[in-house]
Amino acid sequence: MIVFAVPVGDPVYRCWSSPCAGYSANSGGPMSRRRTERVVASVLRDDTSRIRLPQVIRAGLHFGDRDPLQAVLECLARLGLDDAELLRRRFNAPTTPLLVRTVPDARWGVQVARGTNELILQQALLLGLCTAWQYDPSRPVLWTRASLTRRVELYEPAGFYA
């Protein structure tokens, strides 16, 4: 058996490893190219799908440089409230569990620097009832940096079994 040792960087090596090498110097391997395709599979975003999960609501807050938790607690205090649970009676949040789609780069939502206390807390209530997967009105309102900085779309699961 004869073994050719071709050092990396050698003009011969560069020729064999270039995209057009298959034609000029057949190395014996399959002559193929790599293809890449972007795929979207979503029953939440596809309006043409036969199964539709209707979007109920969007929620999100943009805090800028401010600390999310501090900003929301200050809004709460300005309304004279000391417990996030009290917001349930103030706002009509959905009463059934919903599916959550997190949209990290969403541009919609309320700018905390410009929004009213009511508007900010309404969004904060919804976000406090969401996990990364679902909106659950039966759980306590939990405000964390993660929950307050999510931008979410909430969907009804009803249509899945259509």
Partner 1 sequence: MPSVRSPAFRLAELGVYGFDRHETTILAALVTEDPLLLVGRSGTGKTFLLNTLSEALGLEHRHYNASLISFDDLVGFPYPDEAHATVRFLETPATVWGAESVLIDEISRCKPEHQNRLFSLVHERRLQGLPLKRLRYRWAAMNPCTSDQGGAEDYAGSEALDPALADRFSLIVTAADWSDLTLAQQQAIVAPSGEGLVTPRNGALCDAVDAWRALFTEQVNACPPQVTNYVTTVVSALNGARIRISPRRARLLARSLVAATIVAGRASSATFKSVLECSLPHTTWGQTFEPAVIAAAHRAGWDAAREQAGAWIHALLAEQSLPRKLNLLLDHCTDPDEGSQAIAQLIATESPDRAAAFAFVTYPAALGGTLPIGAEGVNDLAKLAVPLLDAEGELSWQERLSEQGTSHPVIAEIGKVLAPLRGTRLARARQFLTACVVRGIALPSAATLEPQLHECVLLLRKQGLARAGARP
Q: Kindly list the residues in this chain that would bind partner 1 in the complex (CB under 8 A).
A: 22, 30-45, 49-51, 53, 95-101, 131-134, 136, 138-139, 156-158, 160-162
- Residue 146, classed as helix, strand or coil, is helix
CA distance 86 to 69: 17
Question: Could you tell me how many residues make up the chain?
Answer: 162
Nearer residue to partner 1 within complex by CB, 108 or 133? 133
Nearer residue to partner 1 within complex by CB, 55 or 149? 55
* Closest distance to partner 1 from the beta carbon of 130 (Å): 11
* Closest distance to partner 1 from the beta carbon of 39 (Å): 5
* Closest distance to partner 1 from the beta carbon of 120 (Å): 27
Q: At what angle do helices 117-128 and 68-78 cross, to 10 degrees?
A: 120
8 Å CB contact between 62 and 110: yes
